[in-house]
Amino acid sequence: MLNCGKDNITFKKMEEKRIIGDSKNSDEFLDSSKTQKQVFADLHIHSRYSRACSKDITIENLVKYAKIKGLGLLGTGDFTHPLWLREIKEKLKEKDGLYYYNDFPFILTGEVSLIYSQGGKGRRVHLVVLAPNTEIVDKINAYLDTRGRRDYDGRPIFNIPADKFVEEMMKISDKIEIIPAHAWTPWFGIFGSMSGFDSLKEAFQEQLGNIHAIETGMSSSPEMNWMISELNNKSIISFSDSHSFWPWRIGREATIFSSAESYDDIISAIRENKIIGTVETEPAYGKYHWDGHANCNFSSNPEKTKEIGGICPVCGKPLTIGVENRVEKLKNQESYVYPRKKPFYKLLPLHELIALAKASTLASRKTWLTYNLLIEKFGNEFRILLDIGTDDLRKVLPNDELLVNLIIDNRIGKIRVKPGFDGKYGEPMLKEKQMKLE
The per-residue pLDDT for range 344-368, each reduced to its tens digit, is: 999 999 999 999 999 999 999 999 9
Indicate if 375 and 271 belong to the same structural domain. no
Spatial distance between the Cα atoms of 371 and 352, rounded to a whole number of angstroms: 10
pLDDT on residue 21: 33
Examine residue 319 and state whether it is found in any structural domain, yes or no.
no
Let me know whether 190 and 72 are in one domain: yes
Last residue of a domain, one of 233, 250, 284: 284
Decide which of 1 and 364 is more confident: 364
Tell me, what's the pLDDT at 36? 75
- Do residues 270 and 400 both lie within one domain? no
Antiparallel, parallel or unpaired: β 104-118 and 73-75: parallel
Are residues 364 and 275 located together in one domain of the fold?
no
User: What pLDDT score does 34 carry?
Assistant: 53
Q: 252 and 426 in contact (C-beta within 8 Å)? A: no
Asked if residue 79 and residue 178 are part of one domain, the reply reads yes
Amino acid 233: pLDDT = 97
Phi, psi values for residue 91, rounded to 5°: -105, -20
- As a whole number of Å, the CA-based R_g of the chain is 21
pLDDT given at position 4? 55
Please count the structural domains in the chain: 2
Provide the pLDDT for residue 432: 57
Out of 267, 284, 301, a domain closes at: 284
3-state secondary structure of 276: coil
pLDDT digits (tens, 9 = 90+) for 299-313: 999 999 999 999 999
351 found inside a domain = no
Alpha carbon distance 177, 244 (integer Å) = 24
Residue 397 lies in a domain: yes
Residues 239 and 117 reside in one and the same domain: yes
pLDDT, position 431: 77
pLDDT class for 28, splitting at 50, 70, 90? very low
Q: What is the DSSP letter of 419?
A: P
154-171 confidence digits (pLDDT tens): 999 999 999 999 999 999
Poorest-confidence range of 31-40, 104-113, 409-418?
A: 31-40
Question: Which pLDDT value is given to residue 22?
Answer: 28
Q: Which of 249, 284, 319 is the last residue of a domain?
A: 284
The verdict on 277 and 402 lying in the same domain is: no
Q: Are residues 217 and 70 in the same domain?
A: yes
* DSSP per-residue codes, 90-122: HH-EEETTEEEETTEEEEEEEEEEEEEEETTEE
For residue 318, tell me if it sits in a domain: no
Alpha carbon distance 99, 383 (integer Å): 25
Residues 240-268 have a mean pLDDT of: 98
Please choose, from the candidates 153, 31, 72, 89, the residue with its C-alpha nearest in 3D space to the C-alpha of residue 383.
Answer: 72
Output the 3-class SS for 57-81.
CCHHHHHHHHHHHCCCEEECCCCCC
| One domain for residues 228 and 367 | no
Q: In percent, how much of the chain has pLDDT > 70?
A: 90
| Mean pLDDT computed over 405-409 | 98
Q: Indicate if the pLDDT at residue 11 is higher than 50.
A: no
Residue 433 has pLDDT above 70, yes or no: no
Q: Domain containing 261 — which CATH number?
A: 3.20.20.140
pLDDT tens string 89-146 = 999 999 999 999 999 999 999 999 999 999 999 999 999 999 999 999 999 999 999 9
HSE, side-chain direction, 13 A CA sphere, residue 312: 19
* pLDDT tens per residue, range 37-60: 899 999 999 999 999 999 999 999
Structural domain boundaries, residue 247: 24-284
* Whether pLDDT at 10 is above 90: no
pLDDT at 75: 98
pLDDT above 50 for 227: yes
Residue 9: per-residue pLDDT: 24
Predicted pLDDT of residue 81: 98
* In a shared domain, residues 238 and 89: yes
| Interval 161-207: pLDDT, tens | 999 999 999 999 999 999 999 999 999 999 999 999 999 999 999 99
Average pLDDT over the chain reads: 92
Q: What does the pLDDT read at residue 434? A: 52
- Would 424 be classed as within a structural domain? no
Structural domain contains residue 427? no
Same domain, 102 and 251: yes
pLDDT at 25 over 60: no
> What average pLDDT score do residues 253-278 get?
97
Q: Are residues 235 and 381 in the same domain?
A: no
Q: Would residue 329 count as lying in a domain?
A: no
In a domain, 265, yes or no: yes
Percent of the chain with pLDDT over 90: 90
